[in-house]
Amino acid sequence: MRGSNRGRTTRLAAAAAALGIALAGLVGCGQTPGADGPRFELNVEPSGVWEPIHMRLVALPPGALVTVRAHALAGTEWSSQAVYVVPSSGVVDLDREAPVEAPFSGADGMGLFWSLGTASGATASSPEQWGGASMSVDLDATVGGRRIAARRIHRVGLTSVAPSRAVFDDGITGDYFEPGSGSRAPRPAVLVLDGTDPGAPSGVLAASTLSAMGYPALAFSTYGSAGEVNVIRTLPAERVVAALNWLRSQPGVDPRRVFVFGTSRGAQLALWTAVAHPELVYGAIAPAGTTGLVCPSPVPGPAVTVGGSWVPCLSGTHRVTRAAVLDLTRIRGPVVLGCAGQDEQLDNACTWLDEAAAVRPARGGDAYIRAPQATHLFYVPPYTPLYLPPPPAAQATEDARVSLWSAIARALNVRGP
């Protein structure tokens, strides 16, 4: 990720201060600095909701069973727990140790966070609560029913570190997320195709996450203002070109490295834009959708128009051929694609990805993420329970999220000519 560590630390510290988090209290509940007894150790505190933390329990009795619990308040109480056998070292490293009992399998340092659940079985469906808002997570560890360690972790929300401003300029409607302090060098920027269904903004979480990672991002309202009804669901190419030119002109943006990002139905629009305008677009991020341009349904109409004329599009998603795939070789920079084998909206998503890989074998910076057991919303940023399906698909979907967003971070760091 671009941007200096100093800039990242400054942003998080400022956000924590704004929330009233006293630095003297960062050792957490029930612990004292330099204690020799059982305790939680973290690599960073506070941390951003978009990033993982690395956590260990130290000074534990070897051979004991330790139960680690996490509790958070997000409208109601959310909790999770995992049981570990303490190794001979007396240290349980959650990144390395597999629990003997947990709602996740295998070593997963963030498993306690994304597996948070409620007693009623309610699903996490608010990106404001699970992405925008800051929250505290209370951890405790017990051995033989006795609490031996506790700590409070602060997760700083995107609203604190990735503020936005509305854009209404030359027919452009969207929200611009400009990173705060960090590298002064020109940075790659991302046009996120938001609202790929009329009135349903879906790119704000992605754009704010990208900004928190250090990349300027414009969540572009693909079909106009939120709430606008466009039954035909057609995207005039001129609006996308205007948005790209606006983004390229912003201070701190490297105009040679602008990416487009679209998910689900927006994936094909992102790929079409990158293929049609390689002079404006460097790379494309397009998971969970087709790799060819498909006409919207059930009302026949164009997916994209240029000068009011239809751009040729396919009549459906089921017949997948190499000729149906967009000419991805025209994209100069990295391409990040992904598919879910259990996609409930596009059941042949991985066939579309496979044909795309035949058209464009992976180059430097490219990533083709295949997640056979994941579901459609694997493109949501990881580390929270937001929009996760019930087990056992939850873990596969979360693992795919981690892989996808790691690939996105790598692709954005690839330098072009």
List, as one string, the DSSP characters of 73-114. EESEEEEEEEEEE--TTS-EETTTPPPSB-SS-S--TTHHHH
Residues of the chain with pLDDT under 50: 1-6, 9, 16-34, 230-231
Q: Given the structure tokens 């040729």, which residue do they identify?
A: 312
CA neighbours closer than 13 Å in the CB half-sphere of residue 236: 11
At 172 the pLDDT is: 86
- Interacting residues of 235 by C-beta distance below 8 A, sequence separation 6+: 222, 223, 269, 303, 304, 305
Which CA distances in Å does 143 have to 69, 90, 109, 184? 12, 13, 20, 49
At 56 the pLDDT is: 98
DSSP-derived letter for residue 327 is -
At 22 the pLDDT is: 31
Model pTM?
A: 0.90
Paired residues of 335 in beta bridges:
284
At 36 the pLDDT is: 82
Q: Given the structure tokens 């960090």, which residue do they identify?
A: 182
At 195 the pLDDT is: 65
At 25 the pLDDT is: 34
Task: Kindly report the backbone phi and psi dihedral angles of residue 214, in degrees, each rounded to the nearest multiple of 5, phi listed first.
Answer: 110, 10
SS3 242: helix
DSSP-derived letter for residue 165 is E
Length of the chain: 417
CB 79 within 8 A of CB 56: no
CB 36 within 8 A of CB 60: no
Q: In what order do the strands lie in the sheet with 304-306?
A: 235-236, 304-306, 309-310
Nearest 5°: CA angle at 310, between 307 and 316?
A: 150
